[in-house]
Amino acid sequence: MSTARAEQKQQTRQALMEAARSLMDSGRGFGSLSLREVTRLAGIVPTGFYRHFQDMDELGLALVAEVGETFRATIRAVRQNEFELGGMIQASTHIFIAAVSANRGQFLFLAREQYGGSQPVRQALGKLRQRITDDLSNDLQLMNRMPQLDKTALDIIADLVVKAVFATLPELIDPPASDLPRHLRPEVKIAEQLRFIMIGGKHWGGLSTSGRHSSTT
């Protein structure tokens, strides 16, 4: 395949993905989209869809891979902030919120479809969340700010952090009401939730300690 044809094929593939995101931007779930309306918005005939994706689920998986790359690139920026610049939670939160704002369509897809109607897409997003959790657990181990915790306990801390971020995504994507108190604004709330988790982790004895406590109650 010539370079020009390869570029054209990539552009058409990207146009299909952008068309799907545009349709979802109006509040629809991915599972409600039809192949015909996606191709119509992308400006290609329906049969042209199959040169790029086998079916709509494969298009959904491509959207998952795309937001996964964006999410993990954002996490790398946060990691650099933490490791190289000694950044605090507030600064790291600003990095993440800026990425969400710059890639609203991608993160809207992630926020909505983690509970959406397409099982393959839900499963792929679940795997993405687990990869992000595993990366964070490894980072926490390298940071060594909770030296009393073993890898299993750090896995739990990482899971709490990632679930808090995923759960707050819908609030981060859309502007809050103008009269919302400052402490309930999503950017403040997520920073305080992460701070709460990290401070709690520093004072937690780990799984063995919680097990001893539960056996005596």
Evaluate whether 102 touches 109 at the Cβ level (below 8 Å): no
Which pLDDT value is given to residue 148?
Answer: 94
Give the mean model confidence (pLDDT) for residues 126-142.
92
pLDDT band at 87 (very low <50, low <70, confident <90, very high): low
Query: Is the torsion defined by CA of 105, 126, 132, 208 positive or negative?
Result: positive
What is the per-residue pLDDT across 42-84, written as a single tens digit (0 to 9) for each? 999 999 999 999 999 999 999 999 999 998 888 888 877 766 5
CA–CA distance, 80 with 190 (Å, rounded to integer): 20
Q: What is the mean pLDDT of the chain?
A: 88
Query: Is the torsion defined by CA of 37, 42, 44, 50 positive or negative?
Result: negative
Per residue in 104-119, is it b (16+ CB within 10 Å) or e — as a string?
Answer: ebbbbbbbbbbebebe
CA–CA distance, 110 with 122 (Å, rounded to integer): 9
CA–CA distance, 153 with 207 (Å, rounded to integer): 6
Does pLDDT of 204 surpass 60?
yes
Give the mean model confidence (pLDDT) for residues 95-122.
90
Q: Give the residue from 104, 166, 101 showing the smallest Cα distance to 131.
A: 166
Backbone phi, then psi, for 34, in 5-degree steps?
-105, 155
In Å, how far are 120, 140, 196, 206, 216 from 209, measured between CA atoms?
Answer: 39, 20, 19, 6, 11
pLDDT band at 215 (very low <50, low <70, confident <90, very high): very low
What pTM, to 2 d.p., does this model score?
Answer: 0.85
Does pLDDT of 213 surpass 80?
no
What is the per-residue pLDDT across 146-185, written as a single tens digit (0 to 9) for each? 999 999 999 999 999 999 999 989 888 887 888 889 888 9
